[in-house]
Each structure stands twice: as C-alpha cells, then as structure tokens.
C-alpha cells in the first residue's frame, strides 16, 4: 500500500517549457487536490476533484490544468512554465466518508529558470 505517490520529486524547467506532475493513489479516495507551498504563505489550493470526470478550480488555478479520468490518478499540467511557478507542489487525497483524514504525497520541488 503506497498511499499517495508523486513523481518526480525534483524538476528544473526552463521558462516556457511544459510538464506534468503526476499523482497516484491506491486508497480509493474520491477527493484529490493539488496545493502549492511557498515560504510564508502556507499551502494554497490549485485544483481539486471530487471524483473521476469532475474537477474544479481552487485559489490559484492560473497557469495549471488538471484532468481526472480515473479514481487513482490526478495529474497537474503546467502548459508554459514561469518563474512564479517555482514552488513545492503537494497532492492530497481524502475519502469522503472519513472526515478528512487527508493524506499528502511527499511533494515535487519545481524550479523554473
């Protein structure tokens, strides 16, 4: 039982490049979300999903796309990376019946140069 797996752990991109951050879970959780963590700002919600085929925007969605074709996977796409997207990204999942025992992945540290 791996829980929540994020790949890659580290990534350096050049401005304008695109990439996909992967998040996979094996806990059959309905809810999945992406947060970014920046110093002094806590974690801010980018996008979230309450089930396969359903996604919605969070607090800071600009520059990011998501899709949810399966229960297990929730990839985050950066279409044209910008230095402002340098951050640590966390995927979090939760079962709608367990009152928010959210499980976080170990994070992806992204640097855009």
7 binds other proteins (CB under 8 A): no
Strand 54-57 to strand 31-37: parallel, antiparallel, or no bridges (unpaired)? unpaired
Pick 33 or 87: Cβ nearer other proteins: 33
Name the one range near other proteins by CB under 8 A: 13-21, 39-47, 66-74, 77-85: 39-47
Compare residues 85 and 93 and give the one whose CB is closer to other proteins.
Answer: 93
Of 11-19, 61-69, 73-81, 95-103, the window that binds other proteins (rule: CB under 8 A) is: 95-103
Minimum separation from the CB atom of position 80 to other proteins (A): 26
Output phi, psi for 86, to 5 deg. Answer: -65, 120
Ramachandran bin of 12, using left for φ above 0, alpha for ψ from -120 to 50, beta for the remaining angles: beta
Given phi > 0 = left and psi -120 to 50 = alpha, else beta, which region is 61?
alpha
Residue 52 contacts other proteins per CB under 8 A: no
Q: To which residue do tokens 């540290």 refer?
A: 109
Minimum distance, C-beta of residue 41 to other proteins, in the bound complex (Å): 6
């Amino acid at each position: 039982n791996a829980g929540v797996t994020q790949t890659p752990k580290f990534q350096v991109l050049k401005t304008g490049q695109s990439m996909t951050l992967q998040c996979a879970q094996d806990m059959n959780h309905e809810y999945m979300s992406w947060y970014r963590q920046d110093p002094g700002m806590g974690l801010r919600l980018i996008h979230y999903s309450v089930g396969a085929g359903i996604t919605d925007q969070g607090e800071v969605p600009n520059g990011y796309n998501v899709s949810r074709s399966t229960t297990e996977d929730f990839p985050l796409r950066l279409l044209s990376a910008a230095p402002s997207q340098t951050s640590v990204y966390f995927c979090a999942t939760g079962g709608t019946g367990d009152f928010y025992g959210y499980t976080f992945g170990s994070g992806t540290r992204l640097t855009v140069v």
